[in-house]
Chain A
Amino acid sequence: MKIAVLFFAYLVGGLFLGGLLAGFDRIVTARMQSRKGPPLLQPFYDVLKLLGKRNIVVNNYQTFCVACFLVFIILTGVLFFVGGDLLLTIFALTVASIFLVLGAYSVNSPYSTIGAERELLQMMAYEPALLIAALGMYWVTKSFHVNVIASYSHPLIMYLPGIFVSVLFILTIKFRKSPFDLSTSHHGHQELVKGLTTEFSGPSLAMIEVAHWYENILLLGFVYLFFAFNPIIAIVATIATYVLEILIDNTFARLTWQFTVASSWIVTGATAVTNLLILTFFLK
C-alpha cells in the first residue's frame, strides 16, 4: 500500500517538479544572459504543443523505442523513490538510455547516428562514477537499499566527499548540459543539428522531453542521498547543485568526446577511487 502511494506520488510529482525545474532552468539561464526568459510553465506549453503536432515517423520501431525509454526512465525513478536497490536503479537507467540509442540508430540519419554513437560514449564516461558512488554508499551504510541509505543518521557527504565531486562532474553529462552536451546539441544550427533527437518530432519528441524531466528528478534524488541526514540541508544542497550546473552550462563551450571520456575517467579515478580506497582503509 505504501509502495503504491509512493509510486503515484512519483508519477505525478516527478512530472510536475521535473517540468517546473526545466522552466526554472530556462529562466535562470536567460537571466545569466541578461534576458528576461520564458514563463515558468513554458516546458509544459512546449510538451502540450508537441503532442498536438503530426507525428512524422521514419519507422515504427523508432516510436516503440522512445516509448520504452520513457517507461524505463519512470520505472528507474520508481525503483529509486520507493527505496529500492541502488544498483538495480543504476542498471535500469542504463537500459532506458540504451532504448533511446536504439531508437536513434534505427532511423539511418547521419546526425541521429552520430548522436547515438556519442550517447554511448557518454554512458561509458559516466557509468564508472555512478557505480563507485553506489559502492561508496554501501561501504558506509552497509546497504544498497535507498531507504536505508536515506535514513542513515550521519552525513554521507563527510565520508564520501571525493565520490560527491565525481558525481557532480558526471551530472553535467547526464543533465545534457555544456560542456558535455555531445549527443543532443542544446542550441540550433550546429554540426549535429539535434543529434540523438533529430529524427523525432511531435509526440515522440514530447516523450523524450518528459523522460528527461523524470531523469533530472531522479538524478537530483541521487544528490539528495549525500545530504539525507537533514532534509532541509539536503534540499538546499540539491537546488544549489542544479544552479551550479546551469552556471557551468552557460560558461562553457562544447568539448570533444575524447576529452569527455578521458576527463570523466581521470576525475573519477582521482576523486572517487581514492575516496573508496581511503574508506576501505578506515572503515572495516
Chain B
Amino acid sequence: MSYFSKSPWVFHYDASSCNGCDIEVLACLTPLYDIERFGIINTGNPKHADLFLVTGSVNEQNISVIKNLYNQMADPKVVVAIGICATSGGIFRTCYNVMGGIDKVIPVDVYVPGCAARPEAIIDGVVKALGILEQKAAALKGEPVAESV
C-alpha cells in the first residue's frame, strides 16, 4: 500500500455553487467531523493537492478556470463532484449559460449528490476517492507523464 490514502490533501473550488455545498465541505474540517484525523488537509493550492473537490455547475465563465486548476495538479489526482449541481447541473441544467456537471469539462471520479450534500456524504465520497487515488498511484508507476485536458 502506498501513502496516498494516508495523506490526501484536498483542494476545493466553488464553480457556481450557491455556497450550500461549500459550507458543508468546510464543515468536514470543523471539530465535529475533524477530517484531519485521517491526514486530510485543505491546501488551497492546486500544486499541493491530491483531491480536487468541485461544487456547483459549469458555466461558460469558469470552464477555463476548472481546466487550469485541474492541469496544475500533479499526478496522481482524483476529482470529486460535490452536490447535485456539480454532478449533473441540478435544477440549473437548462439555464442558457450552464453547461451541466463538472464531467463536461474534466474527468470526474466520484459523484456525491445532494442539495446540499451532507458532510457524512462528502466524507463517504472522499473515502471512495482514496481507493481510486491508490489505484491511479499504482498505475502511474513507470507511465509517461499524462497529457493535459
A52 near B31: Cβ-Cβ < 8 Å:
no
Shortest CB distance A205–B (Å): 6
A135-143, A191-199, A228-236, A255-263: which lies at the interface? A191-199
Residues on B with C-beta less than 8 A from A52 are 2-4, 137
B47 near A189: Cβ-Cβ < 8 Å:
no
Q: Across the interface, name the chain B residue whose C-beta is closest to A46.
A: B7
Interface status of A200 (Cβ within 8 A of chain B):
yes
Interface status of B36 (Cβ within 8 A of chain A):
yes
**Binary per-residue interface labels of chain A (194-232) against chain B in the complex, 1 for a CB within 8 Å, 0 otherwise:** 100111111001000000000000000000000000000
A189 to B45, CA, bound (A): 8
Q: Which of B6, B38, B44, B74 contacts A53 (CB 8 A)?
A: B74
Interface status of B34 (Cβ within 8 A of chain A):
yes
A49 to B140, CA, bound (A): 13
Interface status of A56 (Cβ within 8 A of chain B):
yes
B7 near A189: Cβ-Cβ < 8 Å:
no
Q: Across the interface, name the chain B residue whose C-beta is closest to A39.
A: B39
Beyond A34-B31, A52-B2, A54-B75, whether A198 also contacts B47 by CB under 8 A is yes
**Binary per-residue interface labels of chain B (59-77) against chain A in the complex, 1 for a CB within 8 Å, 0 otherwise:** 0000000000000101110
Q: Which of A39, A190, A201 contacts B44 (CB 8 A)?
A: A190
Residues from 39 to 91 in A contacting B, C-beta threshold 8 Å: 39, 42, 45-46, 48-49, 52-56
Interface status of B145 (Cβ within 8 A of chain A):
yes
Interface status of B43 (Cβ within 8 A of chain A):
yes
Interface status of B93 (Cβ within 8 A of chain A):
no
**Binary per-residue interface labels of chain A (169-207) against chain B in the complex, 1 for a CB within 8 Å, 0 otherwise:** 000000000000000000111100110011111100100
Could you list which residues of chain A lie within 8 angstroms of chain B, going by C-beta atoms? Answer: 26, 30, 33-39, 42, 45-46, 48-49, 52-56, 187-190, 193-194, 197-202, 205
